[in-house]
Amino acid sequence: MKLYTLSYVLLLSIFFSCSGDNSKSAVKQALIDFTINDMNATAYKTGENLPADIVADQDYIIVSINEAIKIKVDLPDDNKLPVLWEVENSPIQGKEIEQKFSTLGFKKIVLQVPGYEEVVKFVNVKNEPISVPETTAPAETPVSETEKVTSPSTPEVKIVDKKPIAENKAKPKVKTDDSKKSTIPENDKPTAPVIINKGKPETVKPETKVATSSSTPPVNTKPSDFKSTKEEGAKLIEPCAEKSFTEIASVTLRPTQDVELGSIYVYTNQSGNVNIVLLENNSPVEKLSGRSVNKGRAQIRLSTLNYTLRAGKTYTLKVDGSAGVNFANLSNCNAGGGGSIMQPSYGNNVSIFNIKFNY
């Protein structure tokens, strides 16, 4: 009897243990799959301490500045644990919240549920206006005067100086007697600038220009036909004992076709901030300030430079460390490499690696 009771208790323990494990696994997966505007993105652990500017392109959600975004986690129905979000260093409670960002750049969203690891995802806040398609007038088709009066087809419209103007040709005045009056009812006779149309007239809107922020400096226009991505330059290898450190990492680029920089790698002596400057013929054209890097191997995203390197010109990319951040020069470690498109050259300072770009 005792043996039977013991076996029964053991079976119950195993059952409730498995049920608890399954429930906890479901909650953990729900935390990982929390959505931003109903879209999923790569989830990170807080302990990984990934700075926002090195998150790969496919690992964040793009939102517009001051856009009301929805952040939601779908926990199992039987889960009553409190849900806490940390956005812009402000705590917010609830399974579903709404948030707006008033500044540009990468933002971190942290999800916290007691008893589980924190989950981190990133959004990239951009100042990209919604494009408004241009309105084009319907093609003009030659029709007779009678067709202009009686046809129920779409009226002919011309756009002049971006204002819709009805087509209205002047007609010579003809003196008629009562026996030759027009059979067209008085209400249907065309009077300028009315368009006769038995159907509902279409409204042609003028082209709308979206104002851009005056604080954004003008930049050179990006080609829209970038279709490929490539890496050139020295490959980042494990630093050898003969490595040295430099305060400024740099590389000279002479592209053979128009390109857009994507990212680079450096090897740093400590965590901190760096500043990036792009020069054309030794004159600064774009810069990024206060970009975060980790100690050791660190990726720096450059797509936010918003600049197209033109074929046939000479550029210098410089990375300057702040507060003691230096960069490994691996020229003594046999590090090196070139490329047929970017044509990078280093001299004796091989400290920028894996130059990724679109072309």
**Look-up: residue for tokens 């430079």?**
305
Distance in angstroms (rounded) separating the CA atoms of residues 171 and 148: 13
DSSP string, 233-251: S-------TT-EEESEEEE
Section 347-358 average pLDDT: 93
Measure Cα distances from 178 to 109, 171, 181, 188 in Å: 82, 20, 5, 19
Least confident of 15-24, 273-282, 298-307, 344-353: 15-24
Q: Answer yes or no: is pLDDT of 329 > 60.
A: yes
188 has pLDDT over 70: no
Which residue type occupies 185? P
Inform me whether the pLDDT recorded for 214 exceeds 70: no
Closest Cα partner for 156 from 129, 105, 183, 193?
A: 193
- CB of 192 closer than 8 Å to CB of 168: yes
Looking at the chain, the whole-number percentage of residues with pLDDT higher than 90 is 31
Mean pLDDT over residues 286-299, rounded? 90
* Residue with the two structure tokens 């770009």: 357
What is the structure's pLDDT at 260? Answer: 93
C-alpha 331/C-alpha 49 separation (Å) is 30
